[in-house]
Amino acid sequence: MPINFNRVKFIRSAASPGDFLRDGRPQLAFAGRSNVGKSSVINRIVNRKNFARVGASPGKTSQINYFLLDERAYLADLPGYGYAKVSKAERDRWGRLMEAYFASGLISWGVLIVDARHKPTADDVTMADWFYDTGCPLLVVANKVDKLKKSQIEPNLEAIRETLSIREGDALTAFSAEKGDGKERLLELLEGTMGV
């Protein structure tokens, strides 16, 4: 049965490991730098305008938001990183939460959203490495591809592949949350993560 991505509900936010969901369903962990368009990508996937909050306040940087997809898998929306104006206390909270989640063994698939226009940041590279360390497969989504000329897409994807040292077998796909470019391919890849 194909996944019905429209069938989605918010389950809860986790601010500490005690709130992590542990019912055995696969968890797709979505990570990305603040403002990369992670919320917009999630909204596009589930066909809602304001499901994951776009431009969410930077104060909400230390919680994982869990959504249940078609009763089959969790989409775990990880707090964004790299936002300059976050306090040290908040950044530390973020670090502790991420460390616990990445060590929990709960991640089935990583989905890392990067900006298609730029070379991934040092934080993006760190995040990819954290996913590699879990041993789970990683899917990299190069978002905002609508801002590129056609001729720039392939070279930029290549630079992303190289900078993140994307492994053989891990997918990298161009996407536009704004325009919907690449949606079919992304849904196909996500279905693959859930064993469809």
**Residue with smallest beta-carbon separation from ligand GDP:** 37
For the chain, percent helix, then strand, then coil, each to nearest 5?
Answer: 35, 20, 40
Site string for ligand GDP, 68-87 (x = CB under 6 A): ------------x-------
Q: Which is nearer to ligand GDP, 13 or 17 (CB)?
A: 13
Q: Which of 30, 37, 29, 47 is nearest to 143 (CA)?
A: 37
Instruction: Count the alpha carbons within 13 Å of 124 in the hemisphere toward its beta carbon.
Output: 25
**Does 55 interact with ligand GDP (rule: CB under 6 A)?**
yes
Amino acid residing at 170: D
Candidates 14, 27, 40, 63; binder of ligand GDP (CB under 6 A) is: 40
**Does 148 interact with ligand GDP (rule: CB under 6 A)?**
no
Candidates 38, 76, 138, 193; binder of ligand GDP (CB under 6 A) is: 38
Q: Which is nearer to ligand GDP, 38 or 93 (CB)?
A: 38
How many residues bind to ligand GDP according to rule CB under 6 A?
18
Give every CB contact of residue 39 below 8 A, 6+ residues apart in sequence: 52, 53, 54, 55, 56, 77
Stretch that binds ligand GDP, among 6-14, 60-68, 139-147, 186-194 (CB under 6 A): 139-147
Task: Looking at 47-149, list the stretches that DSSP marks H as alpha helix, in order from N- to C-terminal side.
Answer: 88-103, 122-134
Q: How far is the CB of 1 from ligand GDP (least distance, A)?
A: 29
Q: How far is the CB of 79 from ligand GDP (least distance, A)?
A: 10
**Residue 6 φ then ψ, to 5°:** -80, -15
64-69 β-sheet, strand order: 8-14, 64-69, 73-77, 27-32, 109-115, 138-143, 171-174
Residues of this chain that bind ligand GDP (CB under 6 A): 32, 34-40, 54-55, 80, 143-144, 146-147, 176-178
